[in-house]
Structure 1
Amino acid sequence: MDNIYLLMLIAITVLAVADIVVGVSNDAINFLNSAIGSKALSMRTIMIVASLGIFIGAVYSSGLMEVARKGIFVPGEFYFNEIMFIFMAVMITDILLLDFFNTLGLPTSTTVSIVFNLLGAAVVMSLIKISASDSETVSDLYSYINTSKALEIISGILLSVFIAFTIGAIVQWLSRLVFTFQNETKIKSFGAIFGAVALTAITYFIFLKGLKGTPYYGELKGSIEGNEIYIIIAGFLFWLIFSIAFEKFAKKTILLVVIAVGTFGLALAFAGNDLVNFIGVPMAAYHSYEAWVASGVEASAFSMEVLDKKVPAEPLLLFISGGIMVVTLWLSKKAKTVAETEIKLSSQGSTQEKFEPNALSRWVVKGTTNISYGIDFLLPKTVQDKISLRFQNPELKMGKAERLNAPAFDMIRASVNLMVAGILIAIATSMKLPLSTTYVTFMVAMGTSFADRAWGRESAVYRVAGVLNVIGGWFGTAIGAFVASGIVVFLINWNPRVMTPILLMITVFLLYRNYKSHKKSTNKTVDEDSLVSSDISSVQGVIHESANNISNVVKRSNKIYSNAINGLSKQDLKSLKKNKKQVDKLSAEIDELRDNIFYFIKNLDESSVGASNFYINILGYLQDMAQSLEYISKTSHKHINNNHKKLKFSQVKELKEIDDQLDNLFTEIKAAFDSRSFEQIGQLLQQKKSVFDLVTDKIVKQVARTRNEESSPKNTTLYFSLLLETKDLLTASMNLLEEYHNAHDSSVEPASIAVEEE
């Protein structure tokens, strides 16, 4: 049995490296979001500053390593083999859980994950020991678990959610009240003072308060304690002079320095607080193994009281771990997916919302709105007007490309995010509390967004739903970590030699599968038939630009309709299911174009406002086509999926005739739009009657069949539904052609007249 523990130690070490990679992919992006969202600095500069912060911050971790050793359980109550089983289970479940959240693109907490993994594994191992004892009962569980410390950690993490949101909201509200959104003149007047306050707070709490978490604090303790007020005053004066000089000579706002120093400080605080989550368990496992080998006692008889002693972290290991974190920061693609979630939820402008509203988010928004009305009732109207004026955000006329590249929020909010989050994390680090950096940075960002009125009536229900989804994921992390680690430690304890390699192979397989899945989703290229929203600002431009979208819709409609008919005739459930997905994708793309109408109209030239009516009508007809296809596709799938009678040969033959006619019509329409031969549209409109007459003829025939020979109500319902919806599809297509034909004629007519006059 001796070698199994060495193999476990090696496996735990390898898993620790992988855990740093997946953990940093989720957590590290939190301290980059403010700088990325504000676009105050280049991405390269942001990454360099953050990398330096991580390297230096790794030194701060040594004071927190005790959490993994004795913060959750009482080590003296366990033997060496049991401790190794616990550590093995913790590392396996931790890496899988974090990688799962990375793949989903949701920020979660490495601190919560490791704490509840340790708690779950320790509780199950304790219950196993209690069940094997004749004198102990479940009530003795408290003697195995460090309940007071565990509750302190858990309550601190939960409390941080409320505190971070509240303080972030208050500081941002006050900052916006001073600077407003039109802050160019205000920054010139008060920017140096604001920058000095922010930089003083960041440097004091990060560099001085954070030192309490390191073994180096003893050497500086005498100089710091009792002199805090002098240090703060001196720091403020230094940064005030620096801010004034920077703005005068660099001709740039001091907020750039605040964001750079804040990113550095938050990266430093992150490394100092979170590195323990990745290497605390492996280091504890190494010290346990070292003590056991030196003892010469059986693994099942060697008590782990040695873990009660304070053991300093090895600087070399901290340096190596910091290096791995930096490399991951530069290379991880999953980190970008996680970043997108927070930046979209805190964006000042409208954006494509990632989350759908739910009952709880609606209730929260309505409740908050009612509270707001109550406050407005108490405040004098003049005060309300003055406050509203300070929060008035001027609308800028921007095209789609400009909107996509615009900052998600301004530098004032980015500075507040970094300052508040850095201070809160540094305070927790100095108190040796493993605070969740994810919870703090995320909730501070949400608090500042809320105070900045980024969650307006247009977006609040979506943003709140997103925040609730993320918070729900945090609780899922805790519950999932507790249950999963408990199950894994039970399996390992049952048969270590067999279950350990099996669980490791499952871990490798799941990590590889998630990697491939994420790579496939992020590398997905834009389909050549995808619809593209337009920034064109003239009637002629809209007509020609829309031709591409119409051509693509017609091509995809033709294929979807044919696939539905073929799937019905062959009773091919798989192809019908795939066809449903294609319809859903088409509908979603058309909906996205409709969502862009507001910006399209805003971007129009004064002389081309008429293009808006044409564009809106075109989108309406495209949506009508998509709805008809959606009904045809889903009805066909439902019929086959419910195992109803297949269509008769005569019915299939008639549907094929209609499909052939539509195929010819849609092919000609696509060719006309591809070649921009808009004069052919008039000829295509003349084919409407022949296709309509064909569909009407099939309806008459089905009526006769129903009266004389049809015996299946489901078949009759399906057939009539397909024919009627085909007429609707044809009507929408012809209305679209007619709209295009009229708009094109009217747009070229003035040009033709001008040529004739010349």
Structure 2
Amino acid sequence: METIYLCIVIFLFVLAVFDLIVGVSNDAVNFLQSSVGAKAASFKTVLFIAGLGVFIGAALSNGMMDIARHGIYQPQHFYFAEIMCILLAVMLTDVVLLDVFNTMGMPTSTTVSMVFELLGGTFALALIKVQGSDTLGLGDLINTDKALSVIMAIFVSVAIAFFFGMLVQWLARVVFTFNYKKKMKYSIGIFGGIAVTSIIYFMLIKGLKDSSFMTPDNKQWIQDNTVMLIGFCFIFFTILMQVLHWLKINVFKVVVLLGTFALALAFAGNDLVNFIGVPLAGYSSFIDFTTNGAGSSPDGFLMSSLLGPAKTPWYFLFGAGVIMVYALCTSKKAHNVIKTSVDLARQDEGEENFGSTPIARTLVRLSMTMSNNISKVMPEGMKRWLDTRFRKDEAILADGAAFDLVRASVNLVLAGLLIALGTSLKLPLSTTYVTFMVAMGTSLADRAWGRDSAVFRITGVLSVIGGWFITAGAAFTICFFVAMIIHFGGTFAIIALIGLAIFSLIRSQVMYKKRKAKEKGNETIKQLMQSSNNAEILELLRKHTREELVKVLAFTEENLERTVTAFLHENLRGLRRSMGSVKFEKQLIKQMKRTGTLAMCRLDNNTVLEKGLYYYQGNDFASELVYSIGRLCEPCLEHIDNNFKPLDTIQKGEFSDVTEDIIYLLQVCRHKMENNDYESFENELRKANDLNGQLSHLKREELQRIQSQAGSIKVSMVYLTMIQEAQNVVTYTINLMKVSRKFQLME
């Protein structure tokens, strides 16, 4: 029996390695977003500083894993087997759940996921224990106060971080303006002093509060002399930052890199419990059972030992630090999560990754109304003065930066202060929530959310916030059922769930690689936006346009065949799938047009006048192809959904034959466009004319059937629509090829 539980403990540590990797991938955004977004240093330098902070934070942590030992469940009422069941369910759920969020590029809270997984697993076992006991109640088994405090912290930290991020950044921008190098002769020393003092205070209160050298005496001394420490640090660092400024050293870069180190240190020191707390609780339970449980069965040995605190051996902390640094430097998914946060906070408009939602549109409309009302009562002189402080065209941005160093400094300093304040008030603020919402608040204050991008940014922010709540619900629900399955299924269920988790992780990795392969076109756009050579920009735009239009032709080919086949075979599911694909493709077309328009602005006037018309015509024909598939699919879906009579045999045969020819035409055109080879294009022109002639003939024959009342009117109506949209597909395909040839080949 001990062998089985030893294997479980070993597997918990194996899962802990994966959890450290996926957890760091998710939480890297907390301390890298500002420095990466502002290009405060090279990416390797930023990673080195963050990695140093992560390693020191992990190594100095004293390993107080109380939340995993007795924060949610009351271990004195649970047997060894039950505790191991809960802990295994938590780790299986956590690894898979965090990996899903990383794959989607959505930052979430590892603290929330662990707390609610523990709550879900404990609740499952508590229900079973309460049912079989006359003395125990749920209140005796579950510590619900911790979970409730985390839920409240979500609301509190989101609102506070966003508001103060907006307020402090507005004040900082009024002081420094976007052309900050001209406005910081003496103010930079005071700002640097406040910033570095705040960061030092943050490191002492939050980052190092549980470090091995932070004894109760040291903590008490810091608490008793806080005012003196802050005052001394402020005077010293104000003078130091002013001197550094006179020595031509960019103080904002110093603040950003120091803030990155501080947040990384705090993350590793305090969030380590989220990754290795559960395996260490399992290890401690196993040691207690094998040492003191002689003669007891796993189902009869109570785990009262978990009530006491535990010190983690240094080699566990050292190993965790090494793994976290490795994950930080190598994880592509970490870079993906950082990209989501940076894109939502960037100063320029660029390519938006999120769509528009009714809530976002309503919020933008309300904000505009409020802004207009404030503007009416504000004196004209003040409005003009404020406008001089917010001239975005004067922004000093590093090459490829999403925002400037002023905002990056405010992000890090304010996030650190709020987290330190929450810690001192014993509020369980989430590092993820605070850092993300501060970044969103500062970007709003910087007027980065213009009228053309605000609705997309708000949708993105709401999507991330929604993901946080989904994390809590999913963690609780999944872990609840996993714990139930393990409890009743025993060893067989454990093996099956482990296999399922491994399969899920492998599948997630494969899907992620496929998705990244599809996004390679974005690299072309990035190169294009960074280039200043007109000929290179035109060539890159041609390449990007080819890739996008080939995707549209592939979509048309696939969904035309699927729609027609599903309709002829009365396959409702296939038609719904096509309709869903059309809706998604419409969003991609909008994004393609927006990106292309931004790219066209990079060309010189002569090139735009010569090539611009062909480019925009190509986008329009691509849109029409997608909308034609939608107009074809919609009546077919309605017809089958209402169980109306199908097409007769003659109609099916006629349309099947012509559809095969249209799909072949689409395939040939797609290959020509993909290879940028438009030789012998006249053959496709002749084929298209023949197809349109065939379809016109089918239309005339169907009109004759209607005249003679030979069939159902409903069937005839949907059939005529199918013929018309098939003609549109042929026409728009040929027109797309014509303008693409002119855009790609003509000089």
What's the TM-score bracket when you normalise by the shorter of the two chains? 0.7 to 0.9
Number of the residue aligned with 1:752? none
- Residues 614, 742 of structure 2: 8 Å contact kept: no
> Paired residue for 1:177, among 152, 163, 174?
174
Please say if 1:466 is aligned against 2:460.
Answer: yes
**Cα pair distance change 1:306/1:544, threshold 3 Å:** closer
Q: How many residues align?
A: 734
Determine the C-alpha separation between the residues in 2 that align with 1:698 and 1:380. 70
Question: What residue identity is the alignment partner of 1:10?
Answer: I
Measure how far apart 1:519 and its partner are: 2.3
Number of the residue aligned with 1:206? 203
> Paired residue for 1:196, among 193, 197, 210?
193
Number of the residue aligned with 2:117? 117
Number of the residue aligned with 2:374? 375
Number of the residue aligned with 1:5? 5
- The alignment partner of 2:309 has SS state of coil
**1:580-611, Cα deviation, whole Å (9 max, x unpaired):** 78877876665344214643564453456634
Number of the residue aligned with 1:144? 141
- Residues 112, 150 of structure 2: 8 Å contact kept: no
Number of the residue aligned with 1:289? 286
Please say if 1:391 is aligned against 2:385.
Answer: no
TM-score (norm 2): 0.85
Number of the residue aligned with 1:335? 334
Number of the residue aligned with 2:227? 229
Determine the C-alpha separation between the residues in 2 that align with 1:637 and 1:385. 57
> Paired residue for 2:444, among 447, 450, 455?
450
- Residues 63, 432 of structure 1: 8 Å contact kept: no
Measure how far apart 1:338 and its partner are: 1.7
Determine the C-alpha separation between the residues in 2 that align with 1:664 and 1:63. 66
Measure how far apart 1:267 and its partner are: 0.4
Determine the C-alpha separation between the residues in 2 that align with 1:243 and 1:689. 75
Measure how far apart 1:721 and its partner are: 1.8
Q: 28-37 vs 47-56, which deviates more?
A: 28-37
Q: 459-468 vs 721-730, which deviates more?
A: 721-730
> Paired residue for 2:259, among 243, 249, 262?
262
Question: What residue identity is the alignment partner of 1:18?
Answer: F
- The alignment partner of 2:30 has SS state of helix
Determine the C-alpha separation between the residues in 2 that align with 1:201 and 1:264. 13
- Residues 343, 408 of structure 1: 8 Å contact kept: yes
Percent identity among equivalent residues? Answer: 36
Determine the C-alpha separation between the residues in 1 that align with 2:744 and 2:125. 77
**Cα pair distance change 1:414/1:653, threshold 3 Å:** same
Where does 1:634-673 land on structure 2 (aligned, <5 Å)? 645-646=646-647, 648-649=649-650, 652-653=653-654, 656=657
Where does 1:202-601 land on structure 2 (aligned, <5 Å)? 202-207=199-204, 210-218=207-215, 220-221=218-219, 224-249=222-247, 251-297=248-294, 298=296, 299-394=298-393, 406-428=400-422, 435-524=429-518, 526=520, 545=542, 552=550, 559=557, 563=561, 567=565, 590-596=589-595, 598-599=597-598
- The alignment partner of 1:711 has SS state of coil
Measure how far apart 1:288 and its partner are: 2.3
Number of the residue aligned with 1:756? none
Measure how far apart 1:613 and its partner are: 4.7
**Cα pair distance change 1:348/1:710, threshold 3 Å:** farther
Q: 640-649 vs 221-230, which deviates more?
A: 640-649
Question: What residue identity is the alignment partner of 2:322?
Answer: G
Number of the residue aligned with 1:168? 165
Determine the C-alpha separation between the residues in 1 that align with 2:655 and 2:134. 80
Q: 207-216 vs 579-588, which deviates more?
A: 579-588
Measure how far apart 1:98 and its partner are: 1.5
**Cα pair distance change 1:288/1:498, threshold 3 Å:** same
Determine the C-alpha separation between the residues in 1 that align with 2:548 and 2:470. 44
- Residues 89, 121 of structure 2: 8 Å contact kept: yes
**1:212-239, Cα deviation, whole Å (9 max, x unpaired):** 3234223534653433333223323333
- Residues 47, 330 of structure 1: 8 Å contact kept: yes
Q: 277-286 vs 660-669, which deviates more?
A: 660-669
Measure how far apart 1:744 and its partner are: 12
Determine the C-alpha separation between the residues in 2 that align with 1:247 and 1:417. 21
Question: What residue identity is the alignment partner of 1:16?
Answer: A
Measure how far apart 1:634 and its partner are: 6.0
**1:492-544, Cα deviation, whole Å (9 max, x unpaired):** 3335333333322222222222222222222347589x999988969x96999
Measure how far apart 1:13 and its partner are: 2.0
Number of the residue aligned with 1:128? 128
Measure how far apart 1:449 and its partner are: 1.7
Determine the C-alpha separation between the residues in 1 that align with 2:106 and 2:743. 46
Number of the residue aligned with 2:90? 90
Determine the C-alpha separation between the residues in 2 that align with 1:743 and 1:509. 46
Determine the C-alpha separation between the residues in 2 that align with 1:416 and 1:469. 24
Question: What residue identity is the alignment partner of 1:473?
Answer: G
Measure how far apart 1:552 and its partner are: 4.8
- Residues 61, 269 of structure 2: 8 Å contact kept: yes
**Cα pair distance change 1:387/1:115, threshold 3 Å:** same
The alignment's C-alpha RMSD in Å is: 4.3
Gaps of 5+ in 1: 749-758
**Cα pair distance change 1:652/1:389, threshold 3 Å:** farther
Determine the C-alpha separation between the residues in 2 that align with 1:741 and 1:314. 68
Measure how far apart 1:46 and its partner are: 1.0
**Cα pair distance change 1:363/1:628, threshold 3 Å:** closer
**If you compute each CA radius of gyration, which structure gives the higher value, 1 or 2?**
1
Determine the C-alpha separation between the residues in 1 that align with 2:125 and 2:196. 48
- The alignment partner of 2:310 has SS state of coil
**1:639-674, Cα deviation, whole Å (9 max, x unpaired):** 788795345447744774697599779969997995
- Residues 552, 622 of structure 2: 8 Å contact kept: no
Question: What residue identity is the alignment partner of 2:12?
Answer: I
**Cα pair distance change 1:608/1:519, threshold 3 Å:** closer
**Cα pair distance change 1:691/1:662, threshold 3 Å:** farther
**1:538-596, Cα deviation, whole Å (9 max, x unpaired):** 9x969994995898589759956984798489859699899878877876665344214
Determine the C-alpha separation between the residues in 2 that align with 1:462 and 1:339. 18
Determine the C-alpha separation between the residues in 2 that align with 1:625 and 1:742. 19
Q: 32-41 vs 557-566, which deviates more?
A: 557-566
Question: What residue identity is the alignment partner of 2:72?
Answer: I
Measure how far apart 1:185 and its partner are: 1.0
**Cα pair distance change 1:247/1:462, threshold 3 Å:** same
Number of the residue aligned with 2:16? 16
- Residues 86, 118 of structure 2: 8 Å contact kept: yes
- The alignment partner of 1:32 has SS state of helix
**Cα pair distance change 1:77/1:555, threshold 3 Å:** closer
- Residues 415, 435 of structure 2: 8 Å contact kept: yes
**Cα pair distance change 1:707/1:570, threshold 3 Å:** same
